Structure 1
Amino acid sequence: MKKNKINVLQILVLSFIIISPFLKAQGVNYVGTSVANFLKIGLGAKSVAVAEADITIADDASMLYLNPGSISWLEKSSATFSYVQWLVQTNLSYLALVLPTDFGNIGFDIAYFGSGDIKETTLLRQEGTGRVVTASDLALGLVYAKNLTDRFSFGFKFKYLSENLASVSASTFAFDIGSVFVTSFMNNMKIGITLSNFGGSLRFEGNDLLVTQVVPGSTTNKQVPAILQTNSWNLPLLFRIGVSTTALELDNYRLGINYMIVDSRDYDVRHNIGTSLQIYDLVTLRGGYRFNYDEATFSAGIGLKTKTDFIGDLLLDYAYTDFGRLNGINQFTLSINF
């Protein structure tokens, strides 16, 4: 066990050394340079309620979104559905499935972001052109995770990403990696590390880029067809490292605390802290706070768990997040462990 512990710590340190140069160069401002920003939205009411501060052990399929390395600890099959009424009347839906196997756990998830109908406006027709367009984002993920030792797990997620706006679209492939290390101190404190959205870039193409231009200097106003040129933009690369442990445990009560650091190429380092109180393995009260975010601050929520004979464990979770000057966000998640 001692040898395994040393090897795991070496892996964690080496991972950080390798990953750090990809995040951002010193002194360069990358704000506003990432696409597919729906990937930054927290999913899973259980995680969101503690300010997304827990990226360690999963007890349902919802953790597949944050840390693919955590789902190897699931001993039962699990399915999760989550829905968020997001800012400015947009919405985000998430579905995940995890299946244990003899050679590790496999998982699949899909996230879909929709804008609803948008009335098109232009500089010349600011009251509207009469055209209605939509914007949407899609992420499809396939995950494999395995416990390499009784204390260390590793997971890999390969995903397809696409964005659509009116009649232009872009797509690419990317991957996430994640791990969980269970220590032997501080009530078996857990350490989680993830790197998300590492891979390709997005470049829009489509019919809306086909335009007609007047030839400069032409006396006849001759028009020629043209194609607007677009650039490729990087995905929001996210590096997370977090710890979680049990602060207090009595016969029917358990108090957990979580802390996470998030580093990204397009904003400053952020800090998340959360706590949860589990009562009789039936009800869990949760809360958390985010530091150095633009609007999002505190979150709170509740989780209910019940065992059934016909479908397995049924979990219903709710989370509320305060967004300061914007409206608060409600999120609901339904999970089944079977």
Structure 2
Amino acid sequence: MLAVDYGELQETVFDASTEAGYRDVGTFSPTAFAIGLGYGRTVTDRFSVGGQVKLVTEDFGAIAVSANDQGDLNREDVSETVLAYDFGVMYDTPFPGLAFAVSARNFSQQAAFGEGESFQLPLTLQIGAALDTRGLTGLDPAVHRLVLSVDAEDPYDYAGQIEAGGEYTFANTLALRAGYLFPSDVQSFSVGAGIQQRLGGVGFGADYSYSAYDVFDPVHRVAIRFDL
């Protein structure tokens, strides 16, 4: 499940009588929500498949779509809901710790807001590889674990990007993470850390990450999880 609240945004309408060519008419608060159900299974000792169906909704609320000569606004509830599908496969290679995966996300029918132009959700193809270096470094695998990964992502409506990163875990308790995204004119590197522990039979974990952006302020993310 994923929910996004974009906060209050300024709402304007075209008005040729003003110097700016528009006028403010208030604010609106768009939201987005997605909930899905997924299933995966191991087909062989090296090959796994999975899929997900999800309900995706985006709602702009009652926004101004036009104005008459007297300046009165015509408002419409603008929202759309579609079903989307994700698919993926993973192959665990004979080389120790090396795995490849391919996924395709956001297969969906055409969507449209009201009588506006139809569009499709951002169909995205992703291929990646990960290497678990336990057993390759000479360090005690019960204490030290280093996983390296690289992903290539190709959205249909945006230039392709490559993400590279790694995670070091100490004693299955403390994790340190770092990653880099390129090419990108906005986001560059991310770093983070996490802890996990079992307390009274209940698993507890906390994660923090810092992502640097060239134009915007850096983004801080905090997550807390429980495993029953």
Cα distance in 1 for residues equivalent to 2:94 and 2:185: 37
- Which digits, 9 at most, give the CA deviation of each residue in 1:68-106, with x for residues without a partner? xxxxxxxxxxxxxxxxxxxxxxxxxxxxxxxxxxxxxxx
The question of whether the paired residues in 2 share the 8 Å contact of 1:151 and 1:182 is answered with yes
Q: Any stretches of 5+ residues in structure 2 without a counterpart?
A: 62-76
Q: 1:303 to 1:249 in 2, by over 3 A?
A: farther
2:226 maps to 1:336? yes
TM-score (norm 1): 0.57
The question of whether the paired residues in 2 share the 8 Å contact of 1:242 and 1:258 is answered with yes
The question of whether the paired residues in 1 share the 8 Å contact of 2:89 and 2:103 is answered with yes
The question of whether the paired residues in 2 share the 8 Å contact of 1:249 and 1:255 is answered with no
Amino acid at match of 1:171: T
Q: 1:294 to 1:200 in 2, by over 3 A?
A: farther
2:73 maps to 1:183? no
Task: Flag the structure with more relative contact order, 1 or 2, with Cα contacts below 8 A and sequence separation at least 6.
Answer: 1
Structure with the larger strand share: 2
1:128 equivalent in structure 2: 24
TM-aligned CA deviation for residue 253 of structure 1: 1.3
Q: Sequence identity of aligned pairs in percent?
A: 26
1:250 equivalent in structure 2: 139
TM-aligned CA deviation for residue 268 of structure 1: 2.1
Amino acid at match of 2:78: V
2:10 maps to 1:119? yes
- Which digits, 9 at most, give the CA deviation of each residue in 1:128-181, with x for residues without a partner? 32x331101111111111111222211110011111112211111110001221
1:300 equivalent in structure 2: 191
1:313 equivalent in structure 2: 203
Cα distance in 2 for residues equivalent to 1:122 and 1:262: 37
The question of whether the paired residues in 1 share the 8 Å contact of 2:51 and 2:88 is answered with yes
1:146 equivalent in structure 2: 41
How many correspondences in the alignment? 203
The question of whether the paired residues in 2 share the 8 Å contact of 1:304 and 1:316 is answered with yes
Amino acid at match of 1:334: I
Out of 213, 231, 237, which is 2:117 matched to?
Answer: 231
CA RMSD of aligned residues (A): 1.6
2:215 maps to 1:325? yes
TM-aligned CA deviation for residue 294 of structure 1: 2.9
Structure with the larger helix share: 1
2:55 equivalent in structure 1: 160
- 1:1-338 aligned within 5 A: 110-124=1-15, 126=22, 128-129=24-25, 131-166=26-61, 167-185=77-95, 187-205=96-114, 229-247=115-133, 248=137, 250-251=139-140, 252-310=143-201, 312-338=202-228
The question of whether the paired residues in 1 share the 8 Å contact of 2:14 and 2:23 is answered with no
Q: Any stretches of 5+ residues in structure 1 without a counterpart?
A: 1-109, 206-228
Cα distance in 2 for residues equivalent to 1:295 and 1:264: 17
